[in-house]
Copies of this chain bind each other. A is one copy, B any other.
Amino acid sequence: MTNHKYSLTGYHKEENEELWLWDDLPELDMEIGYKVGSLLHYEHSPFQEISIVETKAFGRMLVLDGTPQVTAKDGFIYNEMITHIAMAAHPKPQKVAMIGGGDCGPAREALKYESVQQIDVVEIDPRVIEVCRTWMTKETGQEREGLIRTVLKDGYKWIQEQKNMYDVLLVDRSDPYGPAVSLYKPQFYQYVYDSLTDDGIAVFQSGSPYYSGILKKTSSSLRKLFPIVHTYICSIPSFPGGIWSFTIASKKWDPLEADLNGLQWQDAKYINPEIFQASFVLPQYIKSALEEK
């Protein structure tokens, strides 16, 4: 028998004395299974099922409602790519916020920019923050980490109270199910616009450009509001299909004209100045999908 103390539901199954995590993708008629070396944490919070599993392919994974969110081995890709493009595109980001991202990975990346004075991490589920602090990204106790403030609120309600406030806002939303669903509403994009300073920049996790229509919807919603909108992509092995998109929307600074001497990539494992630029180059099928009426 596998050795853990939890009473498990759907996504974690014991078979032949092994424990497996099953990421169900019903819209694709696919299932991705990970053999769980050990189940480090398991709970149902008021918002979702939270688990931490140890896997061979990705090391430790934070899993919400059966979907891997961030992993020890490839989490650097998502964290670097959601953060650095906007941070380097803005010449002097001082006030930064992120909606979601309770694991604080993107916040740690943003801290690398010396101009930063405040980072607000807005997370609806306090248990995600606590579980991640225990199992994923321990606080290092460094002085500048004091600039990271956690705000335990529903991001959709919180953003409506922010006006002309942030230089950079990262929308680290999970898939449009469960607690994140309001972060895909059309009004949300207007609230984000209003929360930014006059030269502010926002970045949105905008889904798989191969499997989903989220990218196109995000991009066209943002084009109605912002003068500068671009799609950029990266490859995240633990995400279904690998290829993943972000949408960046800016009031003044065009990331394609950024001074890349400011990019803080010294200890990065994915981004570098060439990747910064190459990530805006889209395969023809993605360009065509974005251009379709």
Binding site for B on A (CB under 8 A): 20, 25, 28-35, 37, 55-57, 74, 76-77, 208, 210-211, 233-243, 265, 268-272, 274-275, 277-278, 281-285, 287-288
Cα(A265)–Cα(B283), bound, Å: 11
Cα(A57)–Cα(B24), bound, Å: 13
Q: Which residues of B contact A269 (CB under 8 A)?
A: 283-285, 288
Taking A235-B241, A271-B284, A274-B281 as known contacts, 11 extra A-B pairs with beta carbons closer than 8 A to each other, sorted by chain A number, are: A29-B56, A30-B57, A32-B32, A33-B33, A235-B243, A237-B240, A237-B241, A268-B284, A272-B283, A272-B287, A275-B281
Q: Which residues of B contact A29 (CB under 8 A)?
A: 34-35, 37, 55-57
Do residues B283 and A270 form an inter-chain contact, with CB atoms below 8 A? yes
Q: How far is the CB of A14 from chain B (nearest CB, A)?
A: 15
Q: Which residues of B contact A56 (CB under 8 A)?
A: 28-30
Chain A to chain B contacts (Cβ below 8 Å), 12 pairs: A32-B33, A33-B33, A76-B285, A233-B235, A237-B240, A237-B242, A238-B241, A242-B242, A270-B285, A272-B287, A274-B281, A275-B282
Instruction: For A35, give its contact among B30, B238, B283, B284 (CB under 8 Å).
Output: B30
Do residues A211 and B57 form an inter-chain contact, with CB atoms below 8 A? yes
Q: Which residues of B contact A265 (CB under 8 A)?
A: 284
Q: How far is the CB of A28 from chain B (nearest CB, A)?
A: 4
